[in-house]
């Protein structure tokens, strides 16, 4: 989960640092100010971070620098769909975009797990990794197992087209980003059982009441 997100020269943002609360966060702004870009950026980093976390926890495998640089760039391109990575820089004149994310666990920031990277306007398919998570520096790994895979629910009515969408996305040219694809993957999972199912039911109940 996000604690801090610092962004410089990325799409709409010249220099901003945001700190998120442990619960619900509401982002308000006029059209075109970058609300969707902010959410999409946070999602892209959290997604790659979570995959690295899973590799370390369950496969005893640390993601190397080259993999971090490549996978962050690939996820940004898949989510934002620019012509090339450098197009995500705010200005197109020898400019460099910089992004840093500190995750949260049990309502506290974990600086050891910070992810920071940058890329120039000339970048095509790889970012420059400034700092990657140091999972081995943590004394207790059990709490971070509770950090779930991030899910981004877009404005589009995904429930109406997700059956069969994965196959089409993988084999056809579709006007959808990786956000839609990732969500459809999550929707195909079997229902939860036991304690986790009860926890999720409590979270979903207020949303279902709003729809009545």
Task: Write the CATH number for 29.
Answer: 3.40.50
Look at residue 93 in the predicted model and tell me its pLDDT.
61
Please state the domain count of the chain: 2
Q: How many CB atoms sit inside 10 A of residue 130's CB? A: 13
Task: Kindly state whether residues 48 and 100 are assigned to the same domain.
Answer: yes
Task: Kindly state whether residues 111 and 168 are assigned to the same domain.
Answer: no
Last residue of a domain, one of 127, 146, 165: 146
C-alpha angle with apex 134: 99 to 178, nearest 5 degrees? 45
Look at residue 143 in the predicted model and tell me its pLDDT.
72
Task: Kindly state whether residues 164 and 95 are assigned to the same domain.
Answer: no
- pLDDT, one tens digit per residue, over 6-31 is 999 999 999 999 999 887 888 998 88
* Domain ranges, residue 191: 151-212
Answering whether pTM is above 0.85, one says no
Residues of the chain with pLDDT under 50: none
Look at residue 157 in the predicted model and tell me its pLDDT.
73
Task: Kindly state whether residues 132 and 158 are assigned to the same domain.
Answer: no
Last residue of a domain, one of 88, 121, 146: 146
User: What span, in angstroms and rounded, lies between the C-alpha atoms of 85 and 122?
Assistant: 8
Last residue of a domain, one of 125, 146, 167: 146
What is the Cα gyration radius of the chain?
18
- Reference 72, options 201, 190, 178, 162; nearest CA is 178
Task: Kindly state whether residues 92 and 16 are assigned to the same domain.
Answer: yes
φ, ψ at 87 (rounded to 5°): -70, -15
Task: Kindly state whether residues 137 and 155 are assigned to the same domain.
Answer: no
Task: Kindly state whether residues 79 and 128 are assigned to the same domain.
Answer: yes
Task: Kindly state whether residues 9 and 92 are assigned to the same domain.
Answer: yes
Task: Kindly state whether residues 94 and 25 are assigned to the same domain.
Answer: yes
Task: Kindly state whether residues 171 and 102 are assigned to the same domain.
Answer: no
Task: Kindly state whether residues 56 and 101 are assigned to the same domain.
Answer: yes
Task: Kindly state whether residues 140 and 168 are assigned to the same domain.
Answer: no
Look at residue 134 in the predicted model and tell me its pLDDT.
84
């Amino acid at each position: 989960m996000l604690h801090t997100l610092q962004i410089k020269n990325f799409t709409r943002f010249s220099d901003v640092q945001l700190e998120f609360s442990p619960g619900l966060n509401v982002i308000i702004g006029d059209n075109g100010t970058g609300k969707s870009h902010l959410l999409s950026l946070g999602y892209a980093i959290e997604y790659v971070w979570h995959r690295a976390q899973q590799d370390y926890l369950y496969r005893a495998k640390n993601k190397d620098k080259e993999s971090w640089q490549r996978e962050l760039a690939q996820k940004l391109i898949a989510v934002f769909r620019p012509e090339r990575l450098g197009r995500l820089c705010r200005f197109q004149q020898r400019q460099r975009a910089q992004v840093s994310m500190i995750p949260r666990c049990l309502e506290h920031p974990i600086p050891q797990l910070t992810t920071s990277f940058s890329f120039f306007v000339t970048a095509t398919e790889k970012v420059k990794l400034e700092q990657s998570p140091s999972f081995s520096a943590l004394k207790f790994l059990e709490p971070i197992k509770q950090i779930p895979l991030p899910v981004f629910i877009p404005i589009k009515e995904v429930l109406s087209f997700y059956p069969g969408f994965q196959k089409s996305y993988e084999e056809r040219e579709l006007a959808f980003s990786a956000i839609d694809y990732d969500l459809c993957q999550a929707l195909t999972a079997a229902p939860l059982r036991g304690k986790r199912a009860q926890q999720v039911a409590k979270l979903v109940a207020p949303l279902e009441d709003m729809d009545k």
